[in-house]
Amino acid sequence: VLRNAINIDEAEVERCVRDVMKEKKIDQNDTGFKTNLCISLLQISGYKKLYLNVENLRKVPYDSDNEEHEERLIELWNLLMPQENLKARITKQWCDIGFQGDDPKTDFRGMGLLGLVNLVYFSKHYTNEARQVLSHSNHPKLGYSYAIVGINLTEMAYSLLKNGALKSHLYNMVSGLPQMEHFHQFYCYLVYEFDKFWFEEEPESIMHFNQYREKFHEKIKGLLLDCDVILTLQN
């Protein structure tokens, strides 16, 4: 009964809680236990569903023939560079927000649509912070490629979710089913904190990116070991 309980749908939770309480001979009128078990089961099963949803989005390749994908990409530009119009869909201007070449679609290969959705979410919900980080990324000595680093941090957030490291954070944050939005919010925290970390560390050059990225990764993993942890940006 307990093993089955962590793989249930939301609609089955109450029945499952009754079964567990009956199996363990716990008074069915113990509302405190019932409520806590309900929340716990929703969180555990919800974490698994969230991972599957994130994984499914990661598996969707960026498609320049897909109107919705193209609209999201243009939205990213408009959110970050409202004062400057794109001269064309394929243009060197994309390098101004940290893509590698004339066409950003090639940079989404590793993380698929998830990388773009994360970048747009940060720019849309934390616009001032996103523009501030973009501005920092253009620093003459400590600069880095904003969009490329953003996609790299999508991979970090994804891997932390996949290996279960985000459980305490999400369980503390959500009394019930964690949603895709909660994953995006954690991503926003990573981008903002990485920018601060990068400038505090003052790397000699972008060539040392992997070394400092791993140091930051270890720092985040350390924070996530705290059972009371919640890592979010406040807006």
Is there a single domain that holds both residue 13 and residue 107?
A: no
Averaged pLDDT for residues 176-196: 96
pLDDT digits (tens, 9 = 90+) for 91-114: 999 999 999 999 999 999 889 999
Query: pTM for this one?
Result: 0.91
Task: Give the residue, 89 or 39, on which the prediction is more confident.
Answer: 89
* Together in a domain, 69 and 4: no
Mean pLDDT, residues 200-216 taken together: 95
* 192 is a domain residue: yes
Residues 6+ apart with CB under 8 A from 196: none
Q: Are residues 21 and 79 in the same domain?
A: no
Distance between CA atoms of residues 151 and 144, nearest Å? 13
Q: Which two tokens stand for residue 12?
A: 């089955």
Domain assignment present for 233: no
Q: Same domain, yes or no, for 112 and 187?
A: yes
- What's the pLDDT at 235? 56
User: Could you say which DSSP state residue 11 is in?
Assistant: G
The angle formed by the CA atoms of residues 222, 228 and 232, to the nearest 5 degrees, is 75
pLDDT for 3: 74
pLDDT at 180: 96
Q: Tell me what pLDDT residue 27 has.
A: 85
Residues 44-103: tens digit of each pLDDT: 888 999 999 999 999 999 999 999 999 999 999 999 999 999 999 999 999 999 999 999
| Per-residue pLDDT, 214 | 97
